[in-house]
Structure 1
Amino acid sequence: MGALPRENPGGCTQEPLETLPVCEGVLVLLNEPGMRDFVKAALQQHFARIDTAATADEARKMATETCYRFMIADIRLPGGPRGIELAQELRELSSLEMDVIFITGCGDVQDEIDAMRDATADVLRKPFHAEQLLALIKRAGDRRRTAREIFLRDRESDQRPVPERIVGDSDAIKDLWRTIRRVAPTASTVLIKGETGAGKELVARSLHDLSGRQGSYVPVNCGAISPDLIEGELFGHLKGAFTGAHQARNGLFGHADGGTLFLDEIGEMPLGLQAKLLRVLEARSYRPVGGNQEIPINTRVIAATNRDLAAEVLAGRFRKDLYYRINVIDLRLPPLRERKDDIPRLAEHFLTILSAELGVPKPELTAWDREQLIRYDWPGNCRELRNVIERSLLLGKPPSCYIAATDPAGTPDRPVTEATPRSLATMQRSHIMNALLAAGGNKTLAARSLGISRKTVERKLKEWADPNLCDTGTLDG
């Protein structure tokens, strides 16, 4: 665990335990040279780019040349605008949303109140420790990822009519649609089971849109939020509930009142929070962090997992009572290898939408391409198929060029054919290892390219029990 952080293409060096978010850079705008040096030293091991400025003019010049995701600034700047106005000005120079941490003194009370009205800003009072600054940066990164995930998923789903979301004519998909239409109007809790990339999110969104519920559809990935933040994300908090809680905040359960809350990867939820979720499902009310009063809700919960939750219960990693509570309606989404007749239609679907998005001509699939697509087992399911189609459109080569695996002997990039059969476990191992090699050994980047969590990659490496692979100094993300 003593490995040095590695730099990734995003411009941010990451700790071995991935405690800080990826970003383009940090702009430090502080009056005092000693304070600038202190903040830069505190962030040096976490970020590859840290620019410092002493005046607003210097900060403006830097913002025209670099796109910053974080700014740490004095709330009062001598001889210029307040830090709040400057932050808004710099945001307008950038195409990305910039999170700001304002540094204040005891006499800046009104400025501090004004800063609190900014949803993407936090305030840190002097004096402070480096750990406090890093905690605020981490919280801002988690907050931004959650908001982006909700926005992108809602936007993608809203663009397609419900019948077009899950593509396929196989018997398994027809049975799935019959069940979706039957249970959608009910208020029953649904558990969607399926492998990574199979389309569990599409099923959840379809259940909501066919339910007739007037409230919002709110998805949250339980594995993407750190355990110390997820309770506040779900239930919200009151002002003063913890250090830095300067104002009350509504949680995702509150946002989904009258609608649907989709708990993706519920198997990643910490055990302590599982007990609180069970109580919410039973009582139909929740209690914000730091509060004593129960708030009633009318929220339908849909959960999804790629794990065997029954096995997780036996292993003591998931509560039995919660498992029975969420498993009222059990929907299994079949993996792509079990509905291979749907693969050509799915490929055509992805070719149509991606060629339009990328602005390139839509090519025709050859008989050879169709045959190779059907033969491949697709351990990454629909997400992997989409990635292969997108890669082929961008690079101008047939999809069959990108269906490859590494055999146990180590021969790379050999096409999968009937003459080279492989078990699913071997294919999965090859796929993850190819992603790790492509990412230079960075587990985080490899997990993102595969559409799975970093924890999944680490768990697989431990299962294969190869000390060269499990060594965090060799493959560190």
Structure 2
Amino acid sequence: MTHGSAASDDASIAGDSWLATAQILIVDDELGMRNFLVRTLAPRCARVEAVGDTVAAGRLIEASHFDLIILDNILGGRTGLAWLAELRCDGLFTDVILITAFADLETAIEAVRAGAADFVLKPFRTKQILNAVVRCLDRAALRRENFVLRRQLTVPARTQAVERIVGTSPQMAAVRDLVLRAAPTRSTVLITGESGTAKEITARALHEQSPFADRPFVPVNCGAIAADIIESELFGHVKGAFTSAASSREGLFFYAQGGTLFLDEIAELPLAMQAKLLRVIEDRKVRPVGSDREIPIDVRLIAATNADLPERVADGRFRADLFYRLDVVRIHLPPLRERVEDIEPFTRMFMDQLSLQLALPPLPISMSVLQRFEAYPWPGNARELRNRIERALILGTFDEPGSSAPAEPRTDDLADVEKRHILRVLAACDGNRAEAARRLGVSRKTLDRKCAEWNAEPSADL
């Protein structure tokens, strides 16, 4: 097949946006069919491998990631369907196109049950197999994108994340420069900084400025997933792996294939999970829960924390080897109180954004308002400032920072003073008890006990 005919065929194929970056494995024991598929796909795809049996295919699958497998059903001593069923039992979720010369209803039903994404009858024309490949790649991309969108609680602004790294201070100029330097690489990045300093926005900027910006960005809050299910959430599981595993399921690493996995609040990972994450970073493979097979991954990892990881390493609460693996490129986001010159651009940006969202006229930002804002320490950082602007728009006027809470009764009782102080810190941390405990210098267990005594909810408006 000539390159000219390839171009002609491509002109009649719609929606092949994922074809150029696809990595495809062909498994067929007929040399002529392998050569035909390689000639058809190689000029259009990033990588095409072709083998004649499932043993050789298994070695390739264990060594690297493939976006799609084209599998012949009759392979010498066994069927492609039997091998596909084994792959699914082992937790391999790569889409498979089954090709066969026998199109009886029973084979078609077995193909669906085994997990084939498409079914193509031999002999087929170039356009038929290309359309099947494009359908599978687009469907897989759409499935990942839908999964990511369902997990997001808020819709990010349409502007690029790098444009939302706001500030004229030298510190933020250095952050933007570091983002642009690190973005083109696949190196692991560790983002540090207090709550509300835009760690996720920085992670998104790294992804958006990378060569794989069209691939998924999957954010995960490690502190929000129960310890007993986080391994399954990250790595996936096979049917029957545990009591409630009624079917196999892909993990978040699978949905981030080719893109970025953002692990926020990485310090909250249990120690046992830290060891498994370290293994993934070193081997670039994940093992679904209940599977004996390790699946190669192609994922850029970004981690973030508001905790002091070296201190946690010293205390034995975070693995030193994992810390050093994560700390390849570190981006520290300074608190707002250390870059007062950034308060005005933040204030004006939030006023513009929120007035549009709330359909309310923007309030004039006077010099006296800016002076009050610049004198306030903003323990909740940019997130607290944004909330203050939203409150001002709704009320139609600015009040003093920190003055929205009801007046507290004056008392010298030590227990009351302690309670008010702890609840204020918890509110400043947006209910994040791990961060509040760190700021207070107490253990998380102590803080949980105090909150239980006072009937205090983490998200209470205090």
Match of residue 473 from structure 1: 453
CA distance in 2, matches of 1:256, 1:467: 35
Secondary structure at the counterpart of residue 156 of structure 1: coil
1:236-385 matches, cutoff 5 A: 236-385=236-385
After TM superposition, the score normalised by the length of structure 1 is: 0.59
Instruction: After superposition, give the CA deviation of every residue in 1:188-220 in whole Å (9 maximum; x if it has no partner).
Output: 000001001111001100000001114200000
Instruction: After superposition, give the CA deviation of every residue in 1:148-180 in whole Å (9 maximum; x if it has no partner).
Output: 784245x315x1124421111111111111111
Report whether the alignment pairs 1:203 with 2:206. no
Instruction: After superposition, give the CA deviation of every residue in 1:269-313 in whole Å (9 maximum; x if it has no partner).
Output: 000000000000000010000111010011010000001100100
Change (3 A) 1:403 1:171: farther
CA distance in 2, matches of 1:251, 1:187: 21
1:393-408 matches, cutoff 5 A: 393-400=393-400, 402-403=402-403
Match of residue 160 from structure 2: 161
CA distance in 2, matches of 1:247, 1:263: 26
Amino acid of the structure 1 residue aligned with 2:197: A
Instruction: After superposition, give the CA deviation of every residue in 1:328-361 in whole Å (9 maximum; x if it has no partner).
Output: 0011111101111010110111011111111111
**Contact kept? 2:363, 2:396, Cα under 8 Å:** no
Change (3 A) 1:391 1:406: closer
1:376, CA displacement in angstroms?
A: 0.5
Match of residue 24 from structure 2: none
1:469, CA displacement in angstroms?
A: 8.6
Amino acid of the structure 2 residue aligned with 1:204: A
Change (3 A) 1:196 1:471: closer
Instruction: After superposition, give the CA deviation of every residue in 1:403-448 in whole Å (9 maximum; x if it has no partner).
Output: 578999958xxxxxxxxxxxxxxxx997763487xxxxxxxxx5xx
**Contact kept? 1:196, 1:452, Cα under 8 Å:** no
**Contact kept? 1:383, 1:451, Cα under 8 Å:** no
Match of residue 101 from structure 2: none
423, 429, 439: which one aligns with 1:433: 423
CA distance in 1, matches of 2:318, 2:441: 20
Change (3 A) 1:431 1:470: closer
CA distance in 2, matches of 1:394, 1:407: 21
Amino acid of the structure 2 residue aligned with 1:186: T
CA distance in 2, matches of 1:246, 1:377: 51
**Contact kept? 1:354, 1:390, Cα under 8 Å:** yes
Amino acid of the structure 2 residue aligned with 1:175: A
1:96-115 matches, cutoff 5 A: none
Indicate the percent of aligned positions where both proteins have the same amino acid: 46
CA distance in 1, matches of 2:311, 2:239: 40
Match of residue 174 from structure 1: 173
**Contact kept? 1:461, 1:470, Cα under 8 Å:** no
CA distance in 2, matches of 1:363, 1:282: 52
Where do 5+ consecutive residues of structure 2 fail to align? 1-146, 412-417, 458-462
Change (3 A) 1:404 1:460: same
Structure number with bigger Rg: 2
Change (3 A) 1:407 1:329: farther
**Contact kept? 1:384, 1:450, Cα under 8 Å:** no
1:229, CA displacement in angstroms?
A: 1.2
1:473, CA displacement in angstroms?
A: 2.4
Change (3 A) 1:473 1:303: same
Report whether the alignment pairs 1:233 with 2:233. yes
**Contact kept? 1:185, 1:212, Cα under 8 Å:** yes
Change (3 A) 1:301 1:361: same
Change (3 A) 1:471 1:326: closer
Aligned length: 304
Match of residue 220 from structure 1: 220
Secondary structure at the counterpart of residue 331 of structure 2: strand
Amino acid of the structure 1 residue aligned with 2:423: M
Match of residue 433 from structure 2: 454
Amino acid of the structure 1 residue aligned with 2:152: F
Change (3 A) 1:459 1:187: closer
1:260, CA displacement in angstroms?
A: 0.3
Secondary structure at the counterpart of residue 247 of structure 2: coil
Match of residue 56 from structure 1: none
Amino acid of the structure 2 residue aligned with 1:453: N
Amino acid of the structure 2 residue aligned with 1:202: I
CA distance in 1, matches of 2:369, 2:307: 32
Change (3 A) 1:469 1:288: closer
After TM superposition, the score normalised by the length of structure 2 is: 0.60
1:30-179 matches, cutoff 5 A: 150-153=151-154, 155-157=155-157, 159-179=158-178
Change (3 A) 1:410 1:184: farther
CA distance in 1, matches of 2:447, 2:242: 41
Secondary structure at the counterpart of residue 400 of structure 2: helix
Change (3 A) 1:240 1:306: same
Amino acid of the structure 2 residue aligned with 1:188: S
**Contact kept? 1:222, 1:269, Cα under 8 Å:** yes
CA distance in 1, matches of 2:360, 2:371: 24
Amino acid of the structure 2 residue aligned with 1:272: A
Amino acid of the structure 2 residue aligned with 1:433: L
CA distance in 1, matches of 2:325, 2:396: 49
CA distance in 2, matches of 1:476, 1:404: 19
Where do 5+ consecutive residues of structure 1 fail to align? 1-145, 412-427, 437-445
RMSD: 3.2
Change (3 A) 1:351 1:296: same
**Contact kept? 2:307, 2:435, Cα under 8 Å:** no
Q: Tell me which moved more, 394-403 or 339-348.
A: 394-403
Q: Tell me which moved more, 449-458 or 393-402.
A: 449-458
Match of residue 43 from structure 2: none
Amino acid of the structure 2 residue aligned with 1:474: W
